[in-house]
Amino acid sequence: MVPDSVVVTVEKPSNFSLPKVNDSDSSLFPDKEKAVSPKQFTWVLLLKAHRVLTSLSWLAMASRAIFVSVKKRIALSDLSEEEPKSRGRLYRFIKAFLLISILALVLEVVAHFKKWNLQMIQSREVQGLVQSIYMAWLSFRTNYIAPFVIFLSKFCVVLFLIQSLDRLVLCLGCFWIKYKKLKPTIEGEIYDIEDSSSFPMVLVQIPMCNEREVYAQSIAAACELDWPRDRILIQVLDDSDDGNLQLLIKDEVSFWHEKGINIVYRHRLIRTGYKAGNLKSAMACDYVKDYEFVTIFDADFQPNPDFLKLTIPHFKGNPELGLVQARWSFVNKDENLLTRLQNVNLCFHFEVEQQVNGVFLNFFGFNGTAGVWRIKALEESGGWLERTTVEDMDIAVRAHLNGWKFIFLNDVKVLCELPESYEAYKKQQHRWHSGPMQLFRLCLPAILTSKISMWKKANLIFLFFLLRKLILPFYSFTLFCIILPLTMFIPETELPIWVICYVPIFMSLLNILPSPKSFPFLVPYLLFENTMSVTKFNAMISGLFQLGSAYEWVVTKKTGRSSESDLLAFAERESKSLGEEKILRRHSESGLELLSKLKEQEVPAVKKRNKLFRKELALAFLLLTASARSLLSAHGVHFYFLLFQGLSFLVVGLDLIGEQLS
C-alpha cells in the first residue's frame, strides 16, 4: 500500500557562505586563472631595471654637471676682495663650529652603526678609545653645553615671536588702511597753471659717483619734470674720479642747458663724507636760500614728469610737514631670481612698513632718494652730517626729534634698478644694516633728552632701532644658522616644528602679500632671507661695535637696463616736437649699439669674475653636516629644512644666484 503523503524535513543551516565569483584567487574556477609565463616575468624585470638604470644615469649626469660647474666656478672665482673679510672673527667662529660638528658627526655615525646606548652602558663596560670618547662627549654635552643652548634657544624664540608679532601688527595696519581707503590728501587749492609765480622754487639734486651706465637717463628724467622752468634748478652733483666720465656728464649737462633747462654741474675735488658730504656741499651754495624745497634722486632713478605736481602740493597748508616720500618701482625686478626676491622684500617695506608708519606715526626712515624735503626742515635739523653711512636715516631721525612730520605716497612711484649680482647686493645690505647701529649709538642721548612724547621715544628706541635693526638680524642668524644645527648634535635642545616651519612660512606669506605675483617664490624667499642673515648679522655687529667695515661705502653697481625704453621715449618726444614721424624700435636699437661701441672704445673692458663667499660656504657645509646628523635620527622636517637651507647657502657661496659674470 502506497502512502498518501510523504513528509520531508529540510534543516536550514544557521550559517552559510557564498563563493566569491569575482575573486581571482578563488579555486572554484581553476580553468579561468591566468598563469604568468616566465617570459612575461622577465620583461617586467627588464622594464623595472631599465627605469632604475635611467634614473641612475640621470642622477649621475646631473651630479657630474653640478660637480663640473662647481669645479669651474672655484677655479675661475676671484677671491681677492673676499679674502680680508673672511679673516674676521665671525668666519673663524664658523670654521671652528664646522670642525667640531664634523668630529661630532663622525662619533654619532660610529655610535649609530655600533648601536651604542648610554643608558645600557656602564662605566666598567666601556670598550675601546672611541667608545670612551663618545661617553665623555655625551656627559660633557648633557652637563655643560645643553643648558646654555636651551637658554639661548628660548631667548631667541622669544625674540622671534616678538618680531613676528610686530610684523603681524604692521600687516593688520596695512589691511586697515586698504579697508578704510586711508591716504594723504592735498589741503588747499592746487597751483595756478597760468601763473608760474604761484609755484614754489624747487631744487632738484642728482648725486652720483662713477655712474657711467645711468647718468644720462637720470639727467634726462630730471630735465623733463613738469614744472615752470624759472621755478626749478637741477644740480648734477658729480663725485666721479674718472676724467673721461666727468667730461661726458658735463656734455650731457651742456646739452640740456642749451635746450633752456636751468641745470648746473658741480664736482668736488676731494670726496669726503661720500653722499652726505656731496649733498652738504651742494646745500652750501648761496643760491640755495632762494629755494623752498629740495628733491633728491639717485643716479638710477627716473621720475615721471608729473612727480613734482604729485608731491609738492602736499606741503601747501601743512607747515609742519617736512618730507614727502614716494615709492620705488623696479625696472628689472624680473631679471633673475635675486631681483625677484629683492622685490618681495622692498614691496613689503614700502607698502606695509613705510605706509603704516606714515599714516599712524607721521614718521619713517627717509629712503635717501625719490623724496621731497622742505629746506627749512633740513636746516633746523642740522643738515646733512657725515657721521654714518646712512645719512638719509640720520636726517630723518633728527627731523622727527625736531617735530617735523612725514608723508608717504604709495601711489607715486619712481623707476629705479635693483642690484643684479649677489656681490653688489651684499655690499648694499652691509651698508644698510651697519649704518643704523652706528646711528643708534650716536642718537640715543638725543632721543632720551628730546621733547617728543614718550610713545614716540619708545617707538624710536624699541621698534625702529632695536627690534627691526638689531633683534631681527641677531635672532635670524643665531636661531636658524647656529642653534638649529647645534640641536642636531644635542637632542636635549631640539627646536619644535612650529619654530622652524609653521611660523616662518606664515611670516613669509605675510611678507609676500604686497607682491602677489611672487607667491611661487615663497620657499626660495624664506631660504634666501635666512641665507642673508649672516651678512646682516655681521654688518649689525660691525656697526654696533664700530668695527673697521662699519664705515665702508661702496656705490651699488648699476646696469642701466632702463636706458633703452627711456631713449626710445625721449626720441619719440623729440621727433614729435620736430614734426617728424615716430621713430621705429630698430632705429633705437641701432643707436644703442653705436652708443655701446663708443663706450667700449672709451673705457677698456675689464674682465670680472664671480666670487666665492667663504662665510656662506662654511655655513653651507655646517648645515649639510647637521642635516646628515638629522638623517641618522630621522628628524623629518628638521632634516629637510637643514638640507635645503644648506643647499641655498651653497648656491649663494658659489655666487650662482643673480648676474653671472665671465
Where are the chain's structural domains?
A: 89-117+127-182+460-544+612-661, 200-419
Could you say which DSSP state residue 78 is in?
Answer: B
Cell (9 digits) for 422: 649677489
DSSP 4-24: S------PPPS------TT-T
Identify the pLDDT of residue 197.
86
**Per-residue confidence (pLDDT) for residue 73, from 0 to 100:** 67
Q: Vertex 550, ends 361 and 455: CA angle to 5°?
A: 20
How many Å apart are CA 322 and CA 315, to the nearest integer? 8
Fold for the domain defined by 200-419:
Spore Coat Polysaccharide Biosynthesis Protein SpsA; Chain A (3.90.550)
Predicted confidence at residue 90, as pLDDT, reads 87
Looking at residue 108, what is its pLDDT?
Answer: 78
Q: What is the greatest pairwise CA distance in the chain?
A: 151
Compute CA 493 distance to the chain's CA centroid, rounded to the nearest angstrom: 30
pLDDT of residue 553: 67
- Rounded to 5°, angle at Cα 76 from 71 and 78: 125
User: Which residue(s) pair with 207 in the sheet?
Assistant: 237
Q: Where do we find the cell 658735463? A: 250
Question: How many other CB atoms sit within 10 Å of the CB of residue 550?
Answer: 21
Q: How many whole angstroms separate alpha carbon 643 and alpha carbon 396? A: 42
- 354: nearest Cα among 183, 100, 135: 183
Q: Residues of the chain whose pLDDT is less than 50?
A: 1-3, 5-6, 8, 10, 14-33, 80-86, 118-121, 123-124, 563-571, 573-591, 593-594, 597-598, 601
- What the block records as the C-alpha cell of 24 is 581571482
User: Using CA atoms, how far apart are residues 333 and 285, in angstroms rounded to an integer?
Assistant: 38
Nearest-Å Rg of the Cα atoms of the chain is 34
Instruction: Write out the catalytic residue numbers.
Output: 239, 392
Q: Which stretches within 578-656 are classed as H helix?
A: 585-602, 614-633, 637-653
- Please give the model's pTM, rounded to 2 decimal places: 0.81
Strands 263-267 and 232-238 come out as parallel
pLDDT for the residue numbered 577: 46
Instruction: Record the cell numbers describing residue 616, joined without a space.
Output: 656662506
Identity of the amino acid at 571: A
Positive or negative torsion for Cα 647, 649, 653, 657 = positive
SS3 content of the chain, % helix, strand, coil (to 5): 65, 10, 30
Nearest to 187 by CA among 476, 405, 385, 357: 405
CA dihedral 252, 257, 261, 263 (to 10 degrees): 70
User: How far is Cα 322 from Cα 314, in angstroms, rounded to an integer?
Assistant: 10
Query: Would you say 160 and 479 are in contact if contact means Cβ atoms under 8 Å apart?
Result: yes
- Please give the helix or strand (H or E) that residue 174 lies within, else none: helix 146-180
Could you report the per-residue pLDDT of 386-410, keeping only the tens digit for each? 999 899 999 999 999 999 999 999 9
C-alpha cell at 119: 643608558
Give me the amino acid identity at 186. Answer: I
First to last CA, the chain: 120
For residue 511, the one-letter residue type is: N
The residue with cell 529540510 is 10
